Amino acid sequence: MDYITFATAANAVNFGNLATTLNNGASIGNTTRGVFATGWANSAETITGTIQYVTIATTGNAATFGSCTGQRNVAGVSNSTYGIIIGGFNGVTTNACQYITIASTGSASFWGSLSSSAATYGGLSSSTRGVFISDTFSPNMQYLTISTSGTNTSFGDMGGVAFLAGGMSNSVIGLWGTYSDPQKTITIASTGNATNYGNLGADARSYGTGLSPLGGA
């Protein structure tokens, strides 16, 4: 793992190591903890349900948090209290969502079911809402209310291809980056279509993601 200081433009610095390699998993967290959940663990693409965490203010290796139902190609959304692991793929697609309480270690619990399942997901969130997009719903974005178990609701149209989308956000604005289309922006508190933000310097692929300094605030 590497880290950056948001206020300073500079190269990333080593933070520590994960206890288990994770690919195409979910990243969630708050201002204190960063949590990494599920994914595939090796060249054979063996899927693991491991959940690990770090204390963001202190460099060091990840520690065991708990476990969840193992999936890959999931999205993660969170507020300061809860983290939700959205969907995934493990031979077949799933519409199930799992959640954890970030401040306490332990296994994930069932949160609710999406209206449909997909093979890939991307997500972003505010303190209230988690917004996600997938290869099934594309180009329609969906949202859920993080603190209330249930299902998803239509948010608006992405306005382009959402394949391998990655998101980042502050408490107000969400920004999507996708495999080939321009970056898109949304206002998280209000439903509606995404608008163009700008272009990446180069195409990004394979479940790219973003980060922001609010930590699920």
Residue at 130 is within a domain: yes
Residue at 30 is within a domain: yes
* Measured distance CA(192)–CA(198) in Å, rounded: 18
Residue at 102 is within a domain: yes
Helix (H, G, I), strand (E, B) or coil at 132: strand
Helices (H) and strands (E) in the chain, counts: 0, 18
pLDDT > 70 fraction of the chain, expressed in percent and rounded? 87
DSSP annotation of 182 reads P
The predicted structure's pLDDT at residue 96:
93
Q: Domain count of the chain?
A: 1
pLDDT (average), residues 71-89: 92
Residue at 204 is within a domain: no
> What is the value of pTM for the model shown?
0.89
Please give the residue range of the domain that contains residue 107. 2-198
Give the confidence band of 204 by pLDDT, cuts at 50, 70, 90. Answer: low
Residue at 178 is within a domain: yes
Domain CATH code at residue 98: 2.120.10.80
Dihedrals φ, ψ of 147, to 5°? -80, 0
pLDDT (average), residues 78-104: 94
- Round to the nearest angstrom and report the end-to-end CA distance of the chain: 23
Which residue type does 118 have?
A
Residue at 76 is within a domain: yes
* Measured distance CA(86)–CA(51) in Å, rounded: 14
Give the confidence band of 138 by pLDDT, cuts at 50, 70, 90. Answer: low
